[in-house]
Amino acid sequence: MRKRTFIPIVFLLMMPGLVVSQQTTEQYFRQNCYSCHTIGGGRITGPDLQNVTDRKSRDWLVDFIMNPQQVINSGDPYALQLQQEARGVVMPTIQGMTQARAEALLDFIAEESQKEASDFQGTQVSDRPLTQADVRRGRQLFLGETPLQNGGSTCISCHTVNGYDGMLGGGTLGPNLTGAIARLGGRKGLSAWLVAPATPTMSTTFQNAPLAQEEVLPLVAYLQAQAQQNQQQRTAPFVNYLLFGLGGAVILLVSFDFLWGHRFRAVRKPLVERSRKKRVKSEK
């Protein structure tokens, strides 16, 4: 019995490595790099990779791709600059990364950099003001009240947001998304993540059922509204506490003034009366 179960278990453990090795470089880039980098579309969380080999040597880039944290820990000035520009975010060591894979990625980036318009310029996100209609539609998509166009799983099945009071309270497989827009660098960064999520679970889930372009902005609007609402909820108790404290301090000072003022008058009055009587006697 053990032998029968042993082989499938080993096979399942080997599956992630097999999937990675079978991916083309383009697929690998889309799954692992595209949520943080563009090729010719400007910075997201990480820098634009167009003509990246003109900025640093190939050997340096291979070392950084294979183990970013190690290069940063070495005190390399350019690596520290990249970390600072990314607001402290450190590029993770990617699953299945090898020197050969890193070399192939650099070749792929170089080819895309020569195109008039790379396929990896990034998601073109509208900069128009977000409306309450956007927020409502985003909420419907997030909660699954409106099915995703391409049949993907609803967000709430794996994630939740602060204040959600549904019967099951949202999913716990993925992180709470209330602060996702801040963590990912705003509208553009969050949009890029939704289009090409880099986590193994999400990339597998949405590989064949990606979000439709018109679904991205409403979801961004909903998560932005949740972040703002959460900030207000966190700020309100502090303001109330501050006002309550100031009011209490004023009442306390007035009370002390009333009580101690009467006490001092009670002490001063006999002294003044005694002094007056002595003065009258001396005049007589």
pLDDT tens sequence across 49-84: 999 999 999 999 999 999 999 999 999 999 999 999
Q: Output the pLDDT for position 61.
A: 97
Neighbours of 160 (CB within 10 A): 20
Per the model's pLDDT, the better-predicted residue between 188 and 166 turns out to be 188
Complete DSSP assignment for 13-56 = HHHHHHHHHHS-HHHHHHHHTTTT--SSS--SSSPP-TTGGGTS
Candidate CATH numbers 1.10.150.130, 1.10.760.10, 3.40.50.300, 3.40.50.970; the one for domain 1-122: 1.10.760.10
HSE-CB of 101 using CA atoms within 13 angstroms: 23
pLDDT band at 40 (very low <50, low <70, confident <90, very high): very high
- Measured CA distances, 122 to 39, 74, 161, 221 (Å): 8, 31, 26, 19
For residue range 244-266, list pLDDT tens digits in order: 566 667 677 666 666 555 555 55
For residue range 183-206, list pLDDT tens digits in order: 877 888 888 788 877 676 777 777
Q: Output the pLDDT for position 259.
A: 59
Per the model's pLDDT, the better-predicted residue between 282 and 55 turns out to be 55
Domain with CATH 1.10.760.10 in the chain: 1-122, 123-236
Q: Output the pLDDT for position 251.
A: 75
- CATH 1.10.760.10 is held by the domain 123-236: yes
Neighbours of 246 (CB within 10 A): 10
Work out whether the CA dihedral 216, 172, 16, 102 comes out positive or negative: positive
